[in-house]
Amino acid sequence: MRSPEPSQAIGIKESALGVRRAAHGKRSQSGNGKGQTPTSHMDQGHGLEQVTAKVEQPAYVKCSCCGELIENSADKNACFGIEPYPHDEGFGECFECGGDPHSDDILVRLGWMGRTFYEARMDIVRDRLSPENRAKFDEKDYGWKIAFIGRCIEKGLMI
């Protein structure tokens, strides 16, 4: 008996799969989705209890930086409302550590973490400047230095 051509072999294989699926009561899982049976997770209802359980958040969270217990609200948690939430459940950031975006003072807006991040990089830049350029750098205000460091990071000059 002669073996089938490759294109015929594919047709035979597909028909054999179709027969096997039909014999076992299974439908094709590929294609455009027509004729597929829903899986168990599709059958589950999503009642009000299940939806609210996903939305409910703890009343208080612990600052991931200093460990202080803070109210989980827009007034106390710097990360409140951010999606996806950047911390594990039960954690957040107080405004002292994470910064207060509503403050007029740049130091308060950055918070302890932001100041630490930028000041560490300011020291790196400062150490690599000539004495003349270091003096010019030191004369610049804090906001200019933050913007400069940010541009260096965006350009890939530092991390």
DSSP, residue by residue, 13-39: HHHHHHHHHHHHT---SSSSSTTPPPP
Per-residue pLDDT of the chain (159 residues; tens, 9 = 90+): 555 555 554 444 444 444 444 444 544 445 555 555 545 444 455 555 544 445 566 789 999 999 999 999 988 998 888 888 888 888 999 999 999 888 999 999 999 999 999 999 999 999 999 999 999 999 999 999 999 999 999 999 998
**Residue 94 maps to a domain:** yes
Angle (deg, nearest 10), helices 106-127 and 142-154: 70
**pLDDT for position 86:** 85
**What pLDDT does 129 receive?**
95
Same domain, residue pair 132 and 159? yes
User: Are 159 and 117 contained in the same domain?
Assistant: yes
Q: CA-to-CA distance for 52 and 50, rounded, in angstroms?
A: 6
Q: Are residues 81 and 126 in the same domain?
A: no
pTM above 0.85, yes or no: no
Residue 155 sits in the same domain as residue 110? yes
Tokens of 84: 């996806």
Domain of residue 77, residue span: 55-98
> What is the C-alpha to C-alpha distance for residues 44 and 39, in angstroms, rounded to an integer?
9
113 and 137 both lie in a single domain: yes
